[in-house]
Amino acid sequence: MSGKAEKTQKKSWFKGLQAEFKKVIWPDKNALAKQTTAVVSVSVLLGVIITVIDAIMKYGIDLLVK
């Protein structure tokens, strides 16, 4: 590919990227805060559930092995 065609293609790609970013509807601060709180809460809750299940399974396996 020639240098000129490559530069045109890169420029075209960046223009397309810029056009796509203009289409994005960015959330406002309140929506972002609510979504962040929801994600962190669900992540912590799932972490606790996985930890409890892991502890129960470890206890059960230890009973079977002994």
Q: pLDDT tens digit string along 2-45?
A: 555 566 666 788 888 899 999 999 899 999 999 999 999 999 99
Give the position of tokens 């892991």.
Answer: 54
- What is the reported pTM? 0.61
CA distance 19 to 21: 5
What is the Cα Rg of the chain in Å? 25
Given this model, what pLDDT does residue 7 score?
61
What tokens were used for 13?
A: 């790609």
